Structure 1
Amino acid sequence: MPVALSPRADPCHASGEPRLMASPTLPPFADASRRSGEIRLLGYRLHPMTGDEVVGEIAEAVASGRRLIMANVNAHAMATMFDNPPMSRLLEQPDAKVMIDSMPMLFAAKLAGHRLPRAKRTTSLDFYDTMFRRGAAAGWRFGFVGATPETLRKGLVVLRERYPALDIDGRDGYFDIHDDAPGSAQSEIVAWLNERSHDVVIVGMGMPRQEEWIERTQHRVGTRVFLSAGAYLDYQAGAQRVSPRWLGQVGLEWVYRLALSPRRLSYRYLIEPCLLLVRLVTRPHPQTRSRAPDGRD
């Protein structure tokens, strides 16, 4: 049964204010009119935002108790959606906001006539610190799903040390996301999410697995905000190296990653972009159910 998001006071809220919690009534879908700032690039739905704007969206969703999916798109995501309908469906939901996670995409948007400043390319490094500080001060409950058990343990230790008031717990990502049988890891995680009633759940299982898991799980839990995170916790735990910020600002972050992991990333960075162009010409577009308000592609 779907879980609704409706106001209910929680006397244990850290800020002393009434807390919005899950209520087992049928949920209204988020109002499609909230799709402000939406554009289309090569047919893909995007919401260019700065880091501060992302945190503002999250804070408003937590305060109002509405569902919000914060996702991100780059060329890899565009190509992946052709073969992953759940990911495409998730990013087309009226309650989903899709950040631009690639400087080349930002450059392409400018060529298409969208006047977007560089700050509209948003990654976890641009807003997670602000989000955690604001959330810790307001008493938000954070959950994390993903990573290896060791990376999860180390990453949560790092975050708790960095933000002492942060309320966060997690589950690793080594489970079958399609196994809903009683006693399965997936069913245990759903029970944990409903027990904790997190304000924000960060999902770091890589594309498209994390998006598919959110799409399958979202209406079974009372979580307000789902945030796809990729390798964020791996960076915090030291399991992966973060590229220099200046490389990302000039659109060359991929070169650094490719140099570190050529066998793993050669297909993604050297072959997949060409395949994406071919698919855009020869196959039905994975996102065809709605158009941007201004009608631009």
Structure 2
Amino acid sequence: MALDRQRIPLLEVEATPLRVPELVDELSRYIREGSKRTVLGHNLHSVTLTLSDEGFRTLYQQSDVVLLDGAPVLWLWGKTGKAEGPVMDYRLGSTDWLPALDQVEGLERIAVLGAGAAANAEAVRRLQSLVPGARVTGFPGEGWNEDLESKALEWLHVEQPQLVLLGLGMPLQEKVLQRRLDDFPPAVYCAVGGAIEQLAGFQKLAPRWLGRLGLEWAWRLLLHPRRVAYRVLGEPWVLLWLLASRWVMRQLSGRRR
């Protein structure tokens, strides 16, 4: 059963808006089926990459679930009036749904792929406590290269996880999925960005009230100015240029007909 894809006004992308209980139901179904699935999320960074990179766009179009992650994407979707209940309930960053993994039926094997060795080990420990009936194993992703990617592939085939938390940061984790998804063993592959470090306590989460105001970007900019400055201050202008260029091309194409 395919999930309903909904258009995000102005941004020219689609998502599969879910709340935590609905995502838990989908994950339970995927694990019951034993199929290979992907769970991604849309924020302004991913939208920019989707509009500018064909491989990235194809991955998102073919993904089984595309959650509403970034506040601007959520707000624009909310203008469609398709939300049942508060719009904010549909904002699912990785740290919003990871605590509900203990509710996923049949979840017995979890793989944590990404982050440095210490953060990965601590995230594994916390997930074991969160989902006590599951076996949780980890593979650090620091210094990712072709050799490490091949070893990770071998490791996944040995571990045979049902759920993989892929936290290599965007767009590396999506590039890995583009390159390797066909070779990966059957599992639910969730691109979770920095959530492994956040789960481990190595990266401080923004207060949830800031998230509800759409101001997490300010928190990240304050804590990690070098890492996020371009994404927060520069990339939105790139996105506006991409959207404007596409609009102009459509107008020119329509006049030629």
Distance 1:200 1:244, change over 3 A: same
Q: Is the 8 A contact 1:194 1:223 kept in 2?
A: no
Which residue does the alignment assign to 2:129? 161
- What does 1:243-254 align with in structure 2 at a 5 Å threshold? 243-254=206-217
Q: TM-score, normalised by structure 2?
A: 0.86
Which segments of structure 1 move beyond 6 Å, counting only runs of 4 or more?
A: none
Which residue does the alignment assign to 1:16? none
Q: TM-score, normalised by structure 1?
A: 0.75
- What does 1:60-71 align with in structure 2 at a 5 Å threshold? 60-71=29-40
Which residue does the alignment assign to 1:99? 67
Which residue does the alignment assign to 1:201? 164
Match of 1:115 among 82, 95, 98: 82
Q: Give the match's secondary structure for 1:54.
A: helix
In structure 2, give the amino acid aligned to 1:169: T
Using the TM superposition, give the Cα deviation of residue 148 of structure 1 relative to its aligned residue in structure 2, in angstroms: 1.0
Match of 2:118 among 150, 156, 159: 150
In structure 2, give the amino acid aligned to 1:104: P
**Aligned alpha-carbon RMSD (Å):** 2.0
Which residue does the alignment assign to 2:201? 238
Q: Is the 8 A contact 1:202 1:229 kept in 2?
A: yes
In structure 1, give the amino acid aligned to 2:157: N
Distance 1:222 1:263, change over 3 A: closer
Q: Give the match's secondary structure for 1:71.
A: strand
Any idea what the Cα deviations from partners look like across 1:190-245, whole Å, max 9, x if unmatched? 12212222111110011010111112111112232100111111112222110001
Task: Work out the percentage of aligned pairs sharing the same amino acid.
Answer: 26
Which residue does the alignment assign to 2:192? 229
Q: Is the 8 A contact 1:175 1:186 kept in 2?
A: no
Which residue does the alignment assign to 1:52? 21
Which residue does the alignment assign to 1:269? 232
Structure with greater proportional helix content: 2
Q: Is the 8 A contact 2:17 2:68 kept in 1?
A: yes
Which residue does the alignment assign to 1:38? 6
1:87 paired to 2:59: no
Which residue does the alignment assign to 2:47? 78
Q: Give the match's secondary structure for 2:182.
A: helix
Which residue does the alignment assign to 1:3? none
- Unpaired runs of 5+ in structure 1? 1-32, 285-297
Q: Is the 8 A contact 2:8 2:73 kept in 1?
A: no
**Count of matched residue pairs:** 243
Distance 1:115 1:174, change over 3 A: same
In structure 1, give the amino acid aligned to 2:48: A
Q: Is the 8 A contact 2:126 2:199 kept in 1?
A: yes
C-alpha separation in 1, matches of 2:175 and 2:216: 26
Which residue does the alignment assign to 2:251? none
C-alpha separation in 1, matches of 2:217 and 2:6: 26
- Unpaired runs of 5+ in structure 2? 248-257
Which residue does the alignment assign to 1:6? none
Match of 1:125 among 87, 95, 102: 95
Q: Give the match's secondary structure for 1:242.
A: coil
Q: Is the 8 A contact 2:28 2:106 kept in 1?
A: no
C-alpha separation in 2, matches of 1:194 and 1:255: 40
